[in-house]
Amino acid sequence: MNDRTNFSRRDFIKIVATAIPAAALPGIPSAADTVKPSVNSDLGGAGALPAAGNVLLEAERFEQLGGWVVDQQIMDQMGSSYLLAHGLGEPVRDAETTATFPKPGKFRVWVRTRDWVAPWNAPGAPGKFQVRLNGKPLRTTFGTEGAFWHWQDGGTVKVGREVKVALHDLTGFEGRCDAVLFCRDLNFQPPNELAALTEFRRVTLGLPELPEAGGEFDLVVVGGGIAGSCAAISAARLGLTVALVQDRPVLGGNGSSEVRVWPEGKIKQEPYPHMGDVVAELVPDKPSNFQSKSANAKSADIYADERKLAVVRSERRITLMTEQRVNQVEVRAGAIQSVVAQHTRTGRRVRLNARWFADCTGDASVGFLAGADYEMTRQGHLGASNLWNVNDLPTAKDLLKCECTDTNALNNAVFLTQAPAPFPRCPWAIDLRDKPFPGRKKYSATPDKEGLNQLGDWFWESGFNHDPISDVEWMRDQNFRAMYGAWDVLKNVDGLYPNYKLAWAAFIAGKRESRRLLGDVILDADDFRSNRPWNDGAFPCSWSIDLHSPDPASEKGNTGEEFIATATAGKKGYTYQGPYWAPYRCLYSRNLSNLFMAGRDISVTHSGLGPVRVMRTCGMMGEVVGMAAALCKQHATSPRGVYQEHLGDLKKLMQRGVGQKTLAAARE
């Protein structure tokens, strides 16, 4: 069933900042230093604010993160990032910070966490961890109860003026902590509801009620994937001042070392052979030793994080804002006036003003908050992957040489050790003891050969019938359960790979589909099939009409919770004659006068998303958006006005391109 719902204007959703403790990040002052806390009596009852002297520690702002990682994917649902113990079955190093108290005394400790497998009624509570004060663990073991985020009671403690607080992971299996709260009022219960919790955090820590001024720009680009990076670079090279806002520490989105999907799609196609010049600067060519097999989930270095950052930082007109998530938009008279970005670790909020905006978030977050018309396929959409089981070294011979001394789960791969590498049983994972899956004998639903290279590639995908916005944590966690269940079976039931060890998996969901903003043209797969021409063809599409759905071979017993996908790529009825030049009119909002979009949230139907969503193609969308934004400034017009009155100028820019070499030649 394809339940495609068309949404028009919506009320704004107010999502405000997370409060963060003072002195957690070096060099960043706390607002508590200058703003006095106030008490909001409207919260009342269990939501009432505690008395002065209580201490709130946001986990993501601990002084030392140890082996824990910052997860910002559900900030919009819970108001802050949290820490994840992503150890792949080996406990990660402690996260540590120092808490300072106004005076010694007795406090009740609350820890905001959850049992992440409880939604499946699974046994075992794999996300167990301790909170240690000056090296001594509290009696409570955390992460052992509750399907939803909540405050788990840690009992009472006596503390001095300073206490060293540590999060001590017990399993390495995705434990998570949002915050630790010390309450002087032993009967106080902190709030869980988002609005009350947000205000509680802000007031308790004395953070400003209003965001700080973040600057005035010609263009604000939200989303630092390939599309957003190309949009920012293109606009800056054509003279615009640009803010590029990205909620991770690296650029590239799915094409970064954090997710490791190889960017696909043909660039530099006729009649505009310079479209894709910027993409080529950011994305290296596929390594020759990966030409005959998937280049997904390989070693971190081939995804060129530093290369992307260097190109963006070299543009003096770009203000790069990493680790900042836009979660508030201000609109007046059908035009966006500003966006508010919240730092994913410090919680500080800044307001960015601009004349034009580009939504390159993938989730259409800016357009949604601004009330843009959009569409979302509720049932049967493309799912999300978490790539894993990576062979960093391309051959078995190289694997045998690997000493594998680096055990950072973000940068390593599945590797062959020189001694047996046992793996614990995972009764809370998906039970695959009597089921087929890619990489197990007698499974033939996917085109690649059996073995290790079948584990953790693109087709380990879930969430086809779940909300890709509100259920993203569920989708990612279901992928974890599939991964751990498969590895458990291979190691402990089938007796395979005794010396192999998991050492890398993505913890950021590799999304394919969510909201799609609507423009003056809504592109459909039938437009590709019929080769429908457009007078404003602006970016070439070369990927097939690639739609994913649950694979029947692994669907049995997992209906509604499937975790393996099959694809239409190359099948009859899902091909077209390419390159197909898709229209510029897909790249701006039909009802917000100053909003562009580039990436997988552009104006297409569910089927139309198939050919446009791969990253090199998305990058060329970004190049076009940057060019169109420059014309908006030059002619004091709107994105629609560029099509109506200046399409010829846009085509001239597309013919010339904005690559470094092209611009250098033009200057000479």
What CATH number corresponds to the domain at position 656? 3.50.50.60
Helix residue ranges, H only, 36-145 = 75-78
Tell me the sheet residues that pair with 375.
6, 516
* Sign of the dihedral defined by the CA atoms of residues 16, 22, 24, 28, in that order: positive
pLDDT for residue 291: 54
DSSP character string of 576-639: --S-EEEEGGGSB-SSSTTEEE-STTSSB-HHHHHHH-SHHHHHHHHHHHHHHHHHHHHHT--H
Q: Domain span at residue 556?
A: 385-511+544-577
Residue 403 pLDDT grade (very low, low, confident, very high; cuts 50, 70, 90): very low
pLDDT for residue 19: 28
Mean pLDDT of 519-546: 98
For the cut 50, the answer to whether the pLDDT of residue 248 exceeds it is: yes
pLDDT for residue 345: 94
Q: Please give the share of the chain, as a percent, with pLDDT higher than 70.
A: 85
Mean pLDDT of 73-88: 96
Report the distance separating Cα 543 and Cα 574, nearest Å. 10
Q: Phi and psi for 174 in degrees, rounded to 5?
A: 65, 35
Domain-located, residue 556:
yes
Residue 214 pLDDT grade (very low, low, confident, very high; cuts 50, 70, 90): very high
Mean pLDDT of 400-408: 36
604 in the same domain as 494: no
Question: Which secondary-structure segment (H or E) carries 375?
Answer: strand 374-377
Question: Which secondary-structure segment (H or E) carries 163?
Answer: strand 162-169
Report the distance separating Cα 308 and Cα 474, nearest Å. 30
Report the distance separating Cα 641 and Cα 646, nearest Å. 7
Rounded alpha-carbon distances, angstroms, from residue 512 to 524, 602, 631, 645: 17, 13, 31, 34
535 in the same domain as 505: no
pLDDT for residue 442: 63
Report the distance separating Cα 553 and Cα 108, nearest Å. 51
Domain-located, residue 5:
no
Dmax over CA atoms of the chain, in Å, equals 75
* Sign of the dihedral defined by the CA atoms of residues 452, 456, 457, 461, in that order: positive
Question: Which secondary-structure segment (H or E) carries 537?
Answer: strand 537-541
Least confident of 274-288, 340-354, 367-381, 402-416: 402-416
Q: Are strands 415-416 and 500-501 parallel, antiparallel or unpaired?
A: antiparallel
Domain-located, residue 484:
yes
428 in the same domain as 468: yes
Tell me the sheet residues that pair with 118.
none
Q: 249 is written with which tokens?
A: 């520490």
Domain-located, residue 62:
yes
Least confident of 256-270, 414-428, 432-446, 478-492: 432-446
393 in the same domain as 345: no
User: Residue 287: how many CB atoms within 10 A of its CB?
Assistant: 14
Domain edge (last residue) among 175, 205, 235: 205
Domain edge (last residue) among 169, 189, 205: 205
| Type of residue numbered 22 | A
Count up the domains in the chain and report the number. Answer: 3
Average pLDDT along the chain:
87
Report the distance separating Cα 58 and Cα 95, nearest Å. 12
228 in the same domain as 183: no
Domain-located, residue 3:
no
Residue 175 pLDDT grade (very low, low, confident, very high; cuts 50, 70, 90): very high
Cis peptide before 579 (omega within 30 of 0): yes
* Sign of the dihedral defined by the CA atoms of residues 432, 435, 440, 444, in that order: negative
For the cut 90, the answer to whether the pLDDT of residue 49 exceeds it is: no
Domain-located, residue 6:
no
645 in the same domain as 566: no
583 in the same domain as 573: no
455 in the same domain as 573: yes
Q: Which of 585, 444, 617 is nearest to 521 (CA)?
A: 585
242 in the same domain as 360: yes
661 in the same domain as 641: yes
Q: Which of 633, 644, 638 is nearest to 238 (CA)?
A: 633
305 in the same domain as 230: yes
Q: Are strands 82-86 and 95-100 parallel, antiparallel or unpaired?
A: unpaired
Domain-located, residue 7:
no
Domain edge (last residue) among 577, 595, 621: 577
DSSP 536: T
- Contact yes or no for 601/364 (Cβ under 8 A): yes
> pTM for the whole thing?
0.89
Between 232 and 399, name the one with better pLDDT. 232
pLDDT for residue 293: 66
Domain-located, residue 9:
no
Buried b (16+ CB within 10 A) or exposed e, 548-584: bbbbebbbeebeebbbbbbbbbeeeebebebbbbbbb
For the cut 90, the answer to whether the pLDDT of residue 555 exceeds it is: no
219 in the same domain as 198: no
Summarize pLDDT for 438-489 with one digit per residue, the tens: 988 765 544 444 577 788 999 999 999 999 999 999 999 999 999 999 999 9
